[in-house]
Amino acid sequence: MSERTEIQLADGVRLHAEVSGPADAPVTVILLHGWCLDRRTWRHQVTALSGLGRRAPRVIAYDTRGHGRSSATRRHAATLDQLGDDLAEVVRRLAPTGPVVLGGHSMGGMTIMEYAHRHPDEFAARVAGLLLVSTTAEGHTHTRYGLPPTMAGLLRAGETFGAGVLARSGAWRPHRAVLPALAPALRWLLFGDRVTDDDLGLTLRSVGRASLRSIGGFRTSIGAQQRLDTLAAVGDVPAAVLVGDRDRLTPPPCAESIASALPAAELTVCPGAGHMLPLERPEEVSAALLAIVRRVNRGSRKAPRRAHYPEAA
């Protein structure tokens, strides 16, 4: 069984979270979704974690500000900096003690890196494992959309211009009405060789929940982030890095550079898969996450210090 909860941040934004698993579990897993998506991206992994029985972790899957059931964000706060701070608040309020495993897909992985950059002491004290799926530490350095370099550059320029327009368009969602027409393009951009109607439908509904401000506003910081140095300083935290070999947004070079920066990382490249690995390849992603949780449960590395942080204003 899962329960829904909300936390209100200092700027008034409310984050919606779903919490499952034993309240006294020795490990907490926090799952962060990608840009324009929501917590439901992780539904297969949440189910898989519940199958660990008495060793099941507590699981927190939450909607980023401006996404899913969370409230809208102001345009100036649609940044990875802010998302890193939001994650710090989620850890402090919903998982104040014990080791934490962080799992991030796409922008969710970048949020984890920003948390490590902006809150290094808290990260070192609490984080016992990492799952980084279809993400990057180098902004749009490797993004080619599966196109030749010249065409990719033109598409990126158009995307960047369009994102600026959308960022100023407010918190409304008129694109819901045209999502059926956008389905083929999103299927090509986000998925690889195979996708179920159910997974594509979930993705479309998630995109429909994201406001125009969220769709456009986060684009600038996503494209500019550079956090390989941050990852290199993380140390020997057990980590799994996964990517699809047909990912058009964060292709294999993104994952390879992340795995090279993390000394204890294991890299998996999924043949024929695109950007939506938690849905496209649920078994592989779940297996990697469960392996990390089991390792933390066994105490094969020194457990992070138990820490408690004061409630934020």
- Are 192 and 252 a contacting pair, CB within 8 Å? no
pTM: 0.88
Read off the pLDDT of each residue in 6-13 and give the average, rounded to a whole number: 95
How high is the mean pLDDT of the chain? 87
Encoded amino acid at 175, one letter: H
SS3 content of the chain, % helix, strand, coil (to 5): 50, 15, 35
Whole-Å CA distances, 52 to 103, 276, 281: 17, 24, 20
**What does the alpha-carbon distance between residue 127 and residue 69 come to, in Å, rounded to a whole number?**
26
Indicate the pLDDT class of residue 302, thresholds 50, 70 and 90.
Answer: very low
Class of domain 2-298: alpha beta
Size of the chain, expressed as the number of residues it contains: 313
Indicate the pLDDT class of residue 256, thresholds 50, 70 and 90.
Answer: very high
Domain spans, the chain: 2-298
Lowest mean pLDDT among 9-18, 162-171, 184-193: 162-171
Residues 210-253 have pLDDT tens digits of 877 787 778 888 888 999 999 999 989 999 999 999 999 999 99
- Are 96 and 121 a contacting pair, CB within 8 Å? no
- Are 66 and 78 a contacting pair, CB within 8 Å? yes
pLDDT at 107: 96
Task: Give Cα 127 distance to the centre of its chain.
Answer: 15
Lowest mean pLDDT among 2-6, 61-65, 137-141, 270-274: 137-141
Residue by residue, DSSP assigns 73-134 as --GGG-SHHHHHHHHHHHHHHH--SS-EEEEEETHHHHHHHHHHHH-HHHHHHHEEEEEEES
**What does the alpha-carbon distance between residue 128 and residue 308 come to, in Å, rounded to a whole number?**
16
Residues 137-153 have pLDDT tens digits of 998 766 666 666 665 55
Residue 313 has pLDDT above 60, yes or no: no
Residues 104-128 have pLDDT tens digits of 999 999 999 999 999 999 999 999 9
